[in-house]
Amino acid sequence: METICKKCIKRGDKRWTPVEIKEYKKIFSRLPWLKNNKDKKNDNTITNIAGQLQLIEFFIKLNIDCEISLSYTDYSWVDEITGGTYCDFESEIGPILTKQIVCAIGAVVEAICYVIIKHNNIDLPKTICKKELVDNTNLSVMLNVIKEKSLLPKSELDLCFHIKELRNRVHLINQSESDVEMFDWNYSHSTFALECLYFLLQRWLNASDNFMQVHFPYIPIPLKREEILEESRKGWEDLEEMEKQSDIIAKNTPQIFFIQLGLGLEQESLYIIKALTNAQLHICHPAYLEYSSKKSLAAQLTIIEKFSFPYVLIFGKKESLNHSIIIRNMTDKSQKTIKLSEELVEYLKKLE
């Protein structure tokens, strides 16, 4: 296993190395705005993008090695009904790294937006810097230019606007003790920023999921694809009615937490989660199944107990083969195995 920990390296683990700058240059030469372009400024821009991506990769690796509570670890969970992402963090480092990741994502989008505008030979508004007139490369300004000139599809532009808004929000937070206590609202935003970045890179590079996993392994594949794209189309305001309906369901049904045991079951797990949510059951699950599923059942249950979930669904390889799932009562520790059928929905709806 690759690691940044000196003690682990001394014990024989392989030293972690980030994706190299030259590899990023090869990848980003696929961008339609940089193909067959020998411009020195564009080369510097790609180097800047590569540096920001290395920074994101480092922070995520730091999180994994040190088990710092960030939004995309097994310490966080998603409520399918309310759409919220929640996290149990034990130190101030998690929020600080989260802020840095969101800012780095914003810098990547900012650099690419600049390349898009220059490729189309469009002049940016000017601003004064050190008594000189220079291009105003503020992300808000560039996104308004891109919108006005229709340089990107609306769905991609909406994702860029979301990232801009997320970066603006985390910039307002200072690292005082009271501010760190406010950071729980920010965890869902940092997760959303990573998911937006995944979609943008995948579209701009015309890349498959396999390509993304090979070249950007530190950006997890978003689990809630349809919901993310729908949110980017609707915007922030149009979600209010959906949230009202979600609150009604959340108040009238118990929270049921979904656990996946073992890797390779993500698609089956997502199918089950979506089916139960569509049946108006209050299902919650780890923010990223591929991280949490590496943990033992005991380790996952220990985390879940902190949030007082009354019921847990357990789905592993044995259950996958038998087309079943385990329902565990966290109050009296009893459990029951039920087939994956309409009987499961009916049974869960009777829980109180």
Q: Print pLDDT tens along the chain (352 aa).
A: 566 666 666 666 667 677 788 888 889 888 888 765 566 777 888 889 999 998 888 887 776 666 544 444 445 666 666 555 555 544 456 667 777 888 899 999 999 999 999 889 898 888 777 667 777 788 888 999 999 999 999 888 888 988 888 887 776 544 443 333 333 434 456 677 888 899 899 999 998 888 988 888 888 777 655 566 565 555 544 444 555 555 555 555 567 889 988 878 888 888 898 888 888 888 887 766 666 666 788 878 877 777 778 899 999 999 999 999 999 998 888 999 999 888 888 888 888 6
pLDDT reported for residue 65:
62
pLDDT reported for residue 336:
92
DSSP annotation of 338 reads: E
Whether the pTM exceeds 0.75: the reply is no
**Beta carbons of 323 and 256 less than 8 angstroms apart:** no
How far apart, in whole angstroms, are the C-alpha atoms of residue 32 and residue 207? Answer: 13
pLDDT reported for residue 132:
75
How far apart, in whole angstroms, are the C-alpha atoms of residue 321 and residue 149? Answer: 53
Nearest to 231 by CA among 76, 70, 83: 83
Query: Pairing state of beta strands 311-315 and 256-260?
Result: parallel
pLDDT reported for residue 315:
93
Nearest to 164 by CA among 108, 247, 95, 87: 108
pLDDT reported for residue 225:
57
Q: Which CATH superfamily is domain 253-352 in?
A: Anticodon-binding domain (3.40.50.800)
How far apart, in whole angstroms, are the C-alpha atoms of residue 281 and residue 157? Answer: 33
How far apart, in whole angstroms, are the C-alpha atoms of residue 257 and residue 273? Answer: 10
Tokens of 46: 């790609």
Q: Tell me the torsion sign for CA atoms 253, 238, 85, 324.
A: positive
Domain ranges of the chain: 2-234, 253-352
pLDDT reported for residue 149:
92
